Structure 1
Amino acid sequence: MKILLLGQHGQVSQELQRALQGAGKLTVLGREQLDLAQPELIRQHVQRLRPELIINAAAHTAVDQAESEPELAFTINATAPGILAEVAAELGAPLIHYSTDYVFDGSQAAPYRESDSTNPLSVYGRSKLAGEQAIQAVGGMHLILRTSWVYSQHGKNFLLTMQRLLQERESLSVVDDQIGAPTWAGTIAQATVQLIKHWRSGHAGPWGLYHLSAQDETSWFGFASAIAAHLRNQGKRVATLQPIPSSAYPTPAQRPLNSRLDCSRLQQDWQVQLPTWQAALEQCLARS
């Protein structure tokens, strides 16, 4: 099987490259080979490769930066996925695309289902929602996988930032009123491979939109506390953690207070079992 993976150095892409070894002939295109900020190039590149499966792990993910460059965010996160969906449909190939909990405003008390109303608070969230809608407008075989609070041992993310700051500082304040599920990029990659196997073996569920995040929930403060506990278990001295409300840590982009995603539909339709965030964090940290 010829698989085209867009995105090369991102967290999810790095884990996908590991998880997809042996799954087929994998072609990885990073920004240097195909810049999604130049959507006019996408169609000819993908048509030339003629993949049997397209996975789009490329995105504009700098949430705060997107507030000052909305046009770029929408080009990469909305226009490009729409074109990818068109080419995938022309080739008869499925498209797997990743989206975000930030399509919601976080005002709901319960975890969000796929059918719940969206209301993004940020440019990033609006651009990712527009990408979902562009893919859905094309139709065809597609999986849009909304995830949350992605971290890994690669790039820039909360885990790596906390590991550094906890060892550099005496005390550290972390937001405690945003609730969600930290999701290891490895969990996303492993679940994606399961989905591909089900499709290839003729046991695919319905195509469409699904939620894919780790199970259980915590706050950013709770996540930081778990990271601190791991460092302490290694005999390292760590900063004292202080919980604070979001109002005490203003950012250019507003974040939803409730980022919890109900992932039961993915498990029911595609038989994909997702780990708790605690178990996945242990797995991630054991690899370092």
Structure 2
Amino acid sequence: MLGHAAVDVLARDFEVHATVRDPDRARRLGLDVPLHALDGAGPDAPATLDVILAATGAEAVVNCVGLVKQLEEASRPVPAITLNALFPHQAAEVCAARGARLIHVSTDCVFSGDLAPPDRYGEDDLPDCRDLYGRSKLLGEVVEDGLTLRTSIIGWELERASGLLEWLAGQAGGTIRGFANAWFSGLTTRALAAVIGELIADHPTLTGLYQVSTEPISKLDLVTRLDRALGLDCTIEPAAEPRVNRALDSTRFRAETGIEIPSWDEMIDDYATHTRPGRAT
């Protein structure tokens, strides 16, 4: 989900190479940058990444590899731990040896969501996730040898249809529930990619763990705005359950970088003007 958006946004200002499992398939889906085969779950992933860095001379590596919570594989220990926990640290070691900077993306799901709104989780709050996905992502956070951005995202997927936008688009004209007490402070994939671009260009020495968020929004408000912007004409029924608040506090990130995070209206308007990748709208 994030990878193809990062390629699209970052290629405007940088020379971008992308790693994918199947370069031929990725080209057919519209990825128009140099592609390199890499399977983050494979035993040869670190060695393959090292060869790619040696060949390209890359100065920065953005790790968008990971199993998202909606996928069945994320509930199985071997793939979840390999991709979400082990590979980021393997990539960090390879990058350090090659003098490249690693930017890794983590998730708000390291927290349980039991926090009462309007409070938000800070970097110093103890992660208290109870599921394999959250724990695997927590273990994958790279702090010493790179930059980890803890955040959450929505966006069009390149091929699969497991995310919020694909699900919502599939309900066009129908009736859906909107969760009034589920709070979200993430970014669209395009907005996060733009933030990463600013970090690469203007903050080359920033390392450690930082949370990146926008103003919290309820899932009810979010799907209502998306429905309107995308012209889906859904009937949205408010639902009081579930109650979950994974809103993140990004005060430290904003203060140290000066990067402005777009509002939800800005991010949604941007998505409404972009075609779904790999297919027609």
Q: Same fold (TM over 0.5)?
A: yes
1:134-149 paired onto structure 2 within 5 Å? 135-136=142-143, 139-140=144-145, 142-149=146-153
Whole-angstrom CA distance in 2 between matches of 1:162 and 1:210: 30
> Is the contact made by 2:89 and 2:140 (CA closer than 8 Å) also made in structure 1?
yes
Given the alignment of the two structures, is residue 263 of structure 1 paired with residue 250 of structure 2, yes or no? yes
Q: Which consecutive unaligned segments of at least 5 residues does structure 2 have?
A: 23-36, 276-281
The residue that corresponds to 1:209 in the other structure is 209
Number of aligned residue pairs = 253
**Alpha-carbon deviations, 1:221-247, whole Å to 9, x = none?**
21111122235xx5x6x2321122335
More helix by share: 1
Aligned counterpart, 1:93: 100
CA RMSD across the alignment: 2.1
CA contact (8 A) 1:166 1:172 kept: no
1:227 maps to which residue? 226
SS at match of 1:246: coil
The answer as to 2:112 corresponding to 1:108 is no
Q: Is the 8 A contact 1:78 1:131 kept in 2?
A: yes
Q: Deviations over 1:52-107 (max 9, x none)?
A: 21111111114362464122111110111110011111112110010100000112
Cα distance between partner residues in 2 of 1:21 and 1:228: 29
Equivalences for 1:39-78 in 2 at 5 Å?
A: 40-49=43-52, 50=54, 51-63=58-70, 65-66=72-73, 68-78=75-85
Unaligned runs of 5+ in 1: 1-10, 248-255
**SS at structure 2 position matched to 1:76:** helix
The question of 1:283 aligning with 2:261 is answered no
Report how far residue 131 of structure 1 moved: 0.4
Aligned residue number for residue 17 of structure 1: 7
Any conservation in 2 of the 1:149–1:183 contact (CA below 8 Å)?
Answer: yes
The CA deviation string for residues 166-215 of structure 1, in whole angstroms up to 9 with x for no partner, is 32x2x222322211125210001000000000135xxx4x41111113x2
Q: Give % identity.
A: 25
1:93-242 mapped onto 2 (5 Å cutoff):
93-109=100-116, 110-132=119-141, 135-136=142-143, 139-140=144-145, 142-152=146-156, 154=158, 155-156=160-161, 157-167=163-173, 169=174, 171-200=175-204, 204=205, 206-213=206-213, 215-231=214-230, 234=231, 238-242=233-237
Distance 1:219 1:149, change over 3 A: farther
TM-score normalised to structure 2 length: 0.83
Contact 2:115 2:246 in 1 (8 A): no
TM-score by length of 1: 0.81
